[in-house]
Amino acid sequence: MVRTTPFHERTSALNETGLWEHWSNRLVATRYQASEKFEYFAIRNAAGLFDTSPLYKYRFTGPDAERFLGGVLARDPSKLAVGHAQYTLWCDDRGFVIEDGVLLRLAADAFLLTAAEPNLAYFQELVGRLDVGIEDVSDEWGILSIQGPRSRDLVAAVAPDAAAIGYFDLVRTKLAGVDVIVSRTGYTGDLGFEIWVPAADALAVWDAVWAVSRGQGVIPFGMTALYMARIEAGLVLLDVDFHSSRFAWSDADRTTPIELGLGWMFRSLGADAKNGQDGRAFIGREAIRRELRERTSRWQLTGLVVDWRDYDRIYGAAGLIPPKDHTPIQDEYFVYDDALNQLGYATSQMYSPMLQRHIALARVPLDRATPGSRVKLELGVTHRYEYFDAFVTPTPLFNPQRRTA
């Protein structure tokens, strides 16, 4: 049975296209407007509202909650103060990524963790003798995401004490008389906030935010605009840029955090806990240490920017106007060297309206991962493959200062 989110009564009334898709067995809008590009520019120039409620949400409580999470997650939760959040992931014992999410610390012994897919049974099997409670609270919370340069002003209008929180901070507050959690997080690579609201009170919170947003150029946005923003931000997507190690058929479909470009998570990973190094025995630790030490990564996920001159030249030679299609392509397109030997493949690509360039996220071998390295991206033109010059570029490809300011 397909279910709806706590905000569905409002989002369905605003969905002018009637286009919906499934996310974790819940209905979410593909796009609300005739053009998803309109929604995308709301994110980048004003603010957009997004229903993030379908994420799975897990609550960890008890005296051993921190210790348990420290043995499972790639980033150390003991370094996470109350009132802060962090992007994290969890791996199998060979160092391959299972999934990623955001961990919020509500109290010394209370955490919330988001996930794109069900993970309750997986976490429960790891508890052992630790004194930790794990609950699936997905149905208890709606999450309303406010993303874009005006998001802080909107939050200030409805929850003033939440507007000043820093990047990846959170605060408990009241909004429209409802007890909520506001975090400085999001999936667009822009300034943004996410409001956690008890499901029963979701409509009251939506109405309060919607009321203060009128006349500000603020509209709801759907999945297509979200995908556009996340590609520009270099944010990875499950089953597109990586696959869960638990369900992959072979190691070719598995990837490590280092290969995903998330090596920054392990800068403090050392042989012991001295001098500030991370001595936790979390799942996958030894495999990740070995990969770092022996440099056994097979590839690295990085950004690509297509050479517009080469792009225009190839289309011009075919007698065509070079298309500038912003629609995200989340599928494999191969990457080659000059001799057309396959090097890797792009996992996501689009024409970026903000950057006015064709961009991609791609897996390339380590000897091509240096910024500025040139590769060739294979694309179809008039029913045949053509090979476009592209240059390796660090992610995020779009990174406004307001994001973390």
User: Taking a C-beta distance cutoff of 8 angstroms, is the pair 402, 325 a contact?
Assistant: no
Q: Give pLDDT tens digits for 48-77.
A: 999 999 999 999 999 999 999 999 999 999
- Compute the mean pLDDT over every residue in the chain, rounded to the nearest whole number: 96
Domain residues for the domain of 352 are 300-401
Q: Is 57 exposed, middle or buried (0-12, 13-18, 19+ CB in 10 A)?
A: buried
Whether residue 345 is contained in a domain is answered as: yes
pLDDT, residue 399, reads: 97
Task: Please say which residue of 185, 207, 233 terminates a domain.
Answer: 233
Whether residue 70 is contained in a domain is answered as: no
Residue 101 has pLDDT above 70, yes or no: yes
Q: Give pLDDT tens digits for 320-361.
A: 999 999 999 999 999 999 999 999 999 999 999 999 999 999
Task: Please say which residue of 212, 233, 254 terminates a domain.
Answer: 233
Question: DSSP class of residue 322?
Answer: P
CATH number at residue 348: 2.40.30.110
Whether residue 317 is contained in a domain is answered as: yes
Whether residue 15 is contained in a domain is answered as: yes
CATH number at residue 171: 3.30.1360.120
Reported as a pLDDT band with limits 50, 70 and 90, residue 276 is low
Q: Is 248 exposed, middle or buried (0-12, 13-18, 19+ CB in 10 A)?
A: middle
Whether residue 246 is contained in a domain is answered as: no
Task: Please say which residue of 180, 199, 233 terminates a domain.
Answer: 233
User: Taking a C-beta distance cutoff of 8 angstroms, is the pair 148, 48 a contact?
Assistant: yes
Q: Give the number of domains in the chain.
A: 2
Residue 271 has pLDDT above 50, yes or no: no
User: Taking a C-beta distance cutoff of 8 angstroms, is the pair 33, 218 a contact?
Assistant: no
Cα separation of 163 and 156, whole Å? Answer: 5
